[in-house]
Structure 1
Amino acid sequence: MQSIDALVVGAGFAGIYQLYKLQEIGLSVKLIDKASDVGGTWYWNRYPGANSDSLSEVYRYSWDKEDLLTYPWPKHYVSQKEILDYLKHVVKRHDLRKYMQFSTELESASFDSDSSLWTARFSSGETIQSRYLITALGTYSKINYPAIPGIEKFAGEKYHTGNWPENYDFKGKRVGVIGSGSTGVQITIAIADEVKQLVSFQRTPQYVVPNGDGPVSAEFRDNINKNYDEIWNGVRNSWAAHNVKESTVPAMSVSAEERERVFESLWEQGNGFRFMFSAFSDILTSEEANEEACKFIRKKISQIVEDPVKARKLSPDGYYARRPITAPDYYETFNKKHVDIVDLRETPITEITEQGIRTNEKLHELDVIIFATGFEVADGNYTTLTINGRQQSLKEHWAERTTSYLGVSEAGFPNMFLVVGPLSPFNNFPPTIEAQVEFISGLILKAESKRKEDASDKLVLVEATQQAENDYVEACRVLGTKNLFRKEKSYVFGANVEGKTPQILFWVGGLVHYRKALQDVVDNDYRGFTLSY
């Protein structure tokens, strides 16, 4: 049996940086991933049109300043392939591949109180013992299929955007896309011109803002490079962790004409996060302000979509209070005669047959069905694993509700850390990941220093207290009551998964306040954690 200091599970942004920090500390580390290469979420989500909705300059690591200044990004948003290439580049640049093992899936991990070690077992039949277990399983990884009768009967091709094949051909085919979140929007735009017929089966109409994508000029890149320190400081001290200015002006404090001017300017610039956070300060907290943004986007839909029936179906009537969707020419796509929209609120799916998708109105005959139905976020990937702590399994620990302390630790699971675990910030992920990895690494370094200072041959156990975990979960619950996210049925509360009890799954208090919470814990001698033998 192999024995190491630390085992990292997951080779996306989180796992790669955690590996880098642990080997920097001087620990013996191994990273495993069930995929055949690095990428994490971006390895599996390779559907047509897949790209980040965060601006290129901040959808990357900030910790390697030289690489930050020199690595190219030709457009304002990075595609899935460009993200994969970037992560492979980082791994090569820092010689990290020698610590990695792919095509290996974690099946179980158990803590032994006598030895103070974790024992992990893998699909390959291997077993590894480690002092520290760090899971970086990804927020958007456990794919979610809707519970539709007959789903297994369809005789054509079926795909989920979260597990996309390397090869496909939709030319001349009738394609149905179930789902109209960010993934559904992106793939609808991407494949519209290559298919014979495209039908979007829309579960919930979305507020989609143009992203303003295009080539990055040398002048623009030079300006970013000159101001990168200021940009990253702004990102870390903002709510959404994007490179957009966050407004301090309430929507109703200005005239209707000024609101219209502001919204129009941001629509022309593009980027959903800019539209949500740069327009006015209370879009997510005031129903009146939120409705002003909604009315503006609904008006745009009616102006863009030529068919009034399609326009009506595409127009949302709820709050603008989900993760912002941003993409080019989404509504324009429905002006194409072979692209149609089915509003599942009006005509719900009754079954999937051999021939296609049947609603309560008609049978839509299809050659391909694409499930753009999202993920069981935050805790989903953990539900397929057996993880045993001191006295109970993680599944038992989460029997009543999904928990964590700071999104990185669980009471009763010593020396186990989660990167972007449940109740982590609902923000742009790379800066969130950096904050958590650096916090976890600092905590491990404190444990290693304690062991050295005490000249002990025993292992130091780092563990969140149950009280700290309870208090943090309650803080997240309270934060969830202070904005309009609670008004929408979305994955922020796990409401996208049928049969799942809704509860807040993220910290929705902004990255700036989360970072302050982490620093407060550090400044108070890692309050909420015990370090013992």
Structure 2
Amino acid sequence: MGDDARIDYDAIVIGAGFAGLHMLSELRKSGFTCHAFETGDGVGGTWYWNRYPGARCDIESLDYCYLHDRELHRDWRWSERFATGPEIRRYAEHFAERAGVLPSITFGTRVTAAAFDETSSTWLVRTERGGLGDEVRCRFLVTAVGCMSAAAVPDITGASRFRGERLHTGRWPHEPVDLAGKRVGVIGTGSSGIQVIPEIAATAAEVVVFQRTANFSVPAGNRPLTEAELAAEPERYEERVELASTTRFGHVVAGTGQSILDTGQAEREAALEQRWATGGTGIVATFTDTGRDLEANALLADFVRAKIRATVHDPETAERLVPRGHPIGTKRLCVDSGYFGTFNSEHVRLVDLRAEPIEEITEAGVRTARAGYPVDVLVYATGYDAFTGALTRIDITGRDGVSLAKRWASGPETYLGLAVAGFPNLFTITGPGSTTVLSNVLRAIEHHVAWITDLLRHLRSTGQAAEADQGAQDDWTGQVADAAGRTLYHHADSYYLGANIEGKARVFMPYAGGLDVYRGICDSVARDGYRGFTLSHVDDA
């Protein structure tokens, strides 16, 4: 190594959400010197920022939690079937305190750049503020920035002129927002919009919902967890651990095991009615063929469309809320608590942006091609620059000063969603090319953290650096595309392929082959001596 290349830490972790906390904990257990930087002033990642009214997980609480620690799983008591944002934050805080990682995190500090130094085979990490100085150097750099953390705000003419309050669901204020008696405009009807709109409507004097795309949503069926369910949970621990590695999503999603096309109408309707009453996204797994056959998918979609029409009293409003143009499940299936029924309230109005696009935001509200809508508060429920945005907003440069953002300008390419050719000793937890949000992300995180930790131990013991081979990366990128091609995802413009971000390359980013298959591939790579990686001694790197 170069004489001036001091190493402050073996590893730096970017982010203190569920991925960063677990990674930091495992690194410490393995004897690595390590530190994390977090933009927020507390732990939780996306859930630190997601403070909008109605924010709730769409995976059941007993599955959306860590499983690597039996005692943690036994001792924590979830209160509801689908946990709220505040409860998830408390869980993250509890884990951080229990694991003793808080002293190893610098909060309120954004990582602005990370550059690979080829002479020393180290990473120089730059931050914009914090108590450890502006630069630190490490051997290994692990990004735990989250798939849904780079908030996306559309570039609408005149937005800066608006005199009222502007909010984003992904950056909601920490203090309560009083909307009582106010006119509120909400732009966006994806997951966060569908969750926040009923809550806003409960207090606001008037709500105007600006919808570009009608989305499928199903009832959450949320309820308090019973004492019997909580008491039975310790006995289910081993089963949940087993399901984490043997199921497509990392937890069981039970279905009938039948094809919808081979099921009679009465039986089909009864099965779907039961799932609708139960609530949650499991309705898409009721039958085996709705995720791969358009005719089968249409039967499920028509069932949900009929539910929307039956809920919304005004036929014209109902038709505007009925999703068309994409199969159900090819965009994120939303989970709601009274969303469609909200439009039966006289003070809630739906504006179809397909029929009347927004032309500008004025000082007093929103003007479309047909009318002006005065509002006091404007809420952007416009989602995120998913999968890549949180990484490309950091100036990451690898060998020869190549920028990761430029390398990914035509779409992200990774090896297993874990590493990028040309960026040695950089590892991405739930990066593009892994299952990320197409599985239970907590299960994906735990697998990635364990896998990366094992690799770092190996590199420490051998004095080596690891870099993804270009050929292996090209092959994996092809496998990601092939897996998506076997589904119906390509029939929708979704954030899965960057369609929600103006100018972003349209490439399907997550691996759609299932977490069980993906884990098997990654684990076989490790067993084969980290096949697809070039392992070189540090002095030769």
Confirm or deny that 1:34 pairs with 2:43: no
Name the CA distance, whole Å, in 1 between partners of 2:241 and 2:271: 25
Alignment of 1:116-155 (within 5 A): 116-124=121-129, 125-155=133-163
What is the aligned partner in structure 2 of residue 457 from structure 1? Answer: none
Which piece of structure 1 moves more, 322-331 or 243-252? 243-252
**How far off its partner does 1:15 sit?**
0.4
Confirm or deny that 1:326 pairs with 2:335: yes
Structure 1 contact 41–140 (Cα < 8 Å) conserved: yes
The letter for the 2-side match of 1:97 is: L
Which piece of structure 1 moves more, 466-475 or 441-450? 441-450
What is the aligned partner in structure 2 of residue 86 from structure 1? Answer: 91
Structure 1 contact 209–325 (Cα < 8 Å) conserved: yes
What is the aligned partner in structure 2 of residue 523 from structure 1? Answer: 527
Aligned partner of residue 424 in structure 1, secondary structure? coil
Structure 1 residue ranges, 4+ long, deviating more than 6 angstroms after superposition: none
**How far off its partner does 1:230 sit?**
1.1
- State the Cα RMSD in Å: 1.3
What is the aligned partner in structure 2 of residue 462 from structure 1? Answer: 466
Name the CA distance, whole Å, in 2 between partners of 1:406 and 1:508: 12
Aligned partner of residue 230 in structure 2, secondary structure? helix
The letter for the 1-side match of 2:310 is: Q
Name the CA distance, whole Å, in 2 between partners of 1:243 and 1:347: 43
Name the CA distance, whole Å, in 2 between partners of 1:419 and 1:396: 20
What is the aligned partner in structure 1 of residue 378 from structure 2? Answer: 369
Q: Deviations over 1:47-68 (max 9, x none)?
A: 1111111100011100110110
Alignment of 1:269-280 (within 5 A): 269-272=278-281, 274-277=282-285, 279-280=286-287
**How far off its partner does 1:24 sit?**
1.2
**How far off its partner does 1:135 sit?**
0.8
Aligned partner of residue 234 in structure 2, secondary structure? helix
**How far off its partner does 1:424 sit?**
1.8
What is the aligned partner in structure 1 of residue 439 from structure 2? Answer: 427
Structure 2 contact 240–251 (Cα < 8 Å) conserved: no
Alignment of 1:125-524 (within 5 A): 125-167=133-175, 168-272=177-281, 274-277=282-285, 279-318=286-325, 319-320=327-328, 321-391=330-400, 392-425=402-435, 426-451=438-463, 460-524=464-528
**How far off its partner does 1:2 sit?**
6.6
The letter for the 2-side match of 1:24 is: K
**How far off its partner does 1:232 sit?**
3.3
Cα 1:305–1:389 shift into 2, 3 Å: same
What is the aligned partner in structure 2 of residue 58 from structure 1? Answer: 63
Structure 1 spans left out of the alignment, 5+ residues = 452-459
**How far off its partner does 1:237 sit?**
1.9
Name the CA distance, whole Å, in 1 between partners of 2:257 and 2:465: 44
Name the CA distance, whole Å, in 1 between partners of 2:53 and 2:252: 26
Structure 1 contact 55–242 (Cα < 8 Å) conserved: no
Name the CA distance, whole Å, in 2 between partners of 1:33 and 1:304: 43
Name the CA distance, whole Å, in 2 between partners of 1:436 and 1:152: 41
The letter for the 2-side match of 1:250 is: S
Cα 1:432–1:246 shift into 2, 3 Å: farther
Name the CA distance, whole Å, in 2 between partners of 1:395 and 1:330: 37
Aligned partner of residue 209 in structure 2, secondary structure? strand
Aligned partner of residue 506 in structure 1, secondary structure? coil
Name the CA distance, whole Å, in 2 between partners of 1:240 and 1:202: 30
Which piece of structure 1 moves more, 241-250 or 422-431? 241-250
Name the CA distance, whole Å, in 1 between partners of 2:170 and 2:72: 29
The letter for the 1-side match of 2:488 is: L
Q: Deviations over 1:425-468 (max 9, x none)?
A: 022210010111111111111112223xxxxxxxx111110111
Q: Deviations over 1:395-423 (max 9, x none)?
A: 23223331111111011111111111112
Name the CA distance, whole Å, in 1 between partners of 2:244 and 2:59: 12
Alignment of 1:84-123 (within 5 A): 84-123=89-128
What is the aligned partner in structure 2 of residue 455 from structure 1? Answer: none
Aligned partner of residue 263 in structure 1, secondary structure? helix
The letter for the 2-side match of 1:115 is: S
**How far off its partner does 1:225 sit?**
2.8
Structure 2 contact 77–230 (Cα < 8 Å) conserved: no
Name the CA distance, whole Å, in 1 between partners of 2:67 and 2:487: 30
Structure 1 contact 9–137 (Cα < 8 Å) conserved: yes
Aligned partner of residue 159 in structure 2, secondary structure? coil
**How far off its partner does 1:521 sit?**
0.8
Name the CA distance, whole Å, in 1 between partners of 2:47 and 2:251: 19
Aligned partner of residue 480 in structure 1, secondary structure? helix
Name the CA distance, whole Å, in 2 between partners of 1:259 and 1:347: 38
Confirm or deny that 1:25 pairs with 2:30: yes
Aligned partner of residue 62 in structure 2, secondary structure? helix
Q: Deviations over 1:179-235 (max 9, x none)?
A: 111100000022211100111111111111001101111112223332222133224
**How far off its partner does 1:352 sit?**
1.0
The percent of aligned pairs where both chains have the same amino acid is 37
The letter for the 2-side match of 1:472 is: W
Structure 1 contact 55–243 (Cα < 8 Å) conserved: no
Name the CA distance, whole Å, in 1 between partners of 2:244 and 2:198: 30
What is the aligned partner in structure 1 of residue 3 from structure 2? Answer: none
**How far off its partner does 1:246 sit?**
4.5
Name the CA distance, whole Å, in 2 between partners of 1:531 and 1:509: 28
Aligned partner of residue 191 in structure 1, secondary structure? helix
| TM-score normalised over the length of structure 1 | 0.96
Q: Deviations over 1:290-333 (max 9, x none)?
A: 10111101111111111112111111123102121111211111
**How far off its partner does 1:151 sit?**
1.4
Structure 2 spans left out of the alignment, 5+ residues = 1-5
Aligned partner of residue 301 in structure 1, secondary structure? helix
